[in-house]
Copies of this chain bind each other. A is one copy, B any other.
Amino acid sequence: MTREYSNISMAVIRRLPKYHRYLKDLLDQETYRISSKELSKLIGFTASQIRQDLNCFGGFGQQGYGYNVEELYNEIGKILGLYQSYPTVIVGAGNLGQAIANYTNFDKFGFSTLALFDSNPKMIGMRIRDIAVHDVDQLEEFIKKNQVRIGVICTPKKVAQDVATKLSEAGVQGIWNFAPIDIKVPEEIIVENVHLSESLFTLSFLLSQEFDQE
């Protein structure tokens, strides 16, 4: 099913996880049916956009009825590639790396953290909820041996590019990057950034606009 949805815009793709989350909430509240209009009120997108978005992937709804919540939740999960197997390693076992290793929620969608890596001898050998911290020198060997698909970069800025290069060369398919740089890797490797300072600075822009400090 490679590139099944290759012409979908990133704007649509980035809304999918939000649909997924709201549908889960509806299921938990035992709501089994929803119209684009009702969903619009909850999620804040227009009903028109919701119908457009969902129709990129197929006709999940039924005229006169709406959408079956459970079916839609499952379909969007599949479209997102959840429930595949994503062997993952985290590089950098500081607070952030540990925080991510502790997100047990990701496990059930297929993301399994096999190991953390660090260069600090005091960290090596420790365990974060049963996941061992290895010496970063063993990163490439471990990735190859365990067919790791995702590498998470939680290191300081100055080693992040180096780690990204090692991850790429060892064969990961995707990198989840928390370091405040734009890493350079071969184009076939997917990079998803979480740039915390960009998020915080956007907040400060908006704050300084709305709340005058003289």
Contact = CB atoms under 8 A, between A and B. Distances in A.
Interface in A1-52: 1-6, 13-14, 16-18, 20-21, 44
Contact of A194 (B6, B196, B206): B196
Contacts of A86: 204, 207
A84 B208 contact: yes
- Give chain A's interface residue range (CB within 8 Å of chain B): 35 or more
Nearest to A175: B203
Contacts of A99: 94-96, 98-99
A107 to B, nearest CB: 12
Interface of A: 1-6, 13-14, 16-18, 20-21, 44, 79-82, 84-86, 94-96, 98-100, 102-103, 105-106, 109-111, 149-150, 173-174, 176, 180, 182, 188, 190, 192, 194-213
Given A1-B212, A111-B200, A173-B211, 18 more contacts: A13-B202, A16-B202, A18-B195, A18-B198, A20-B201, A80-B208, A84-B204, A94-B99, A95-B95, A95-B102, A96-B96, A96-B99, A98-B99, A103-B196, A109-B204, A110-B204, A192-B200, A192-B206
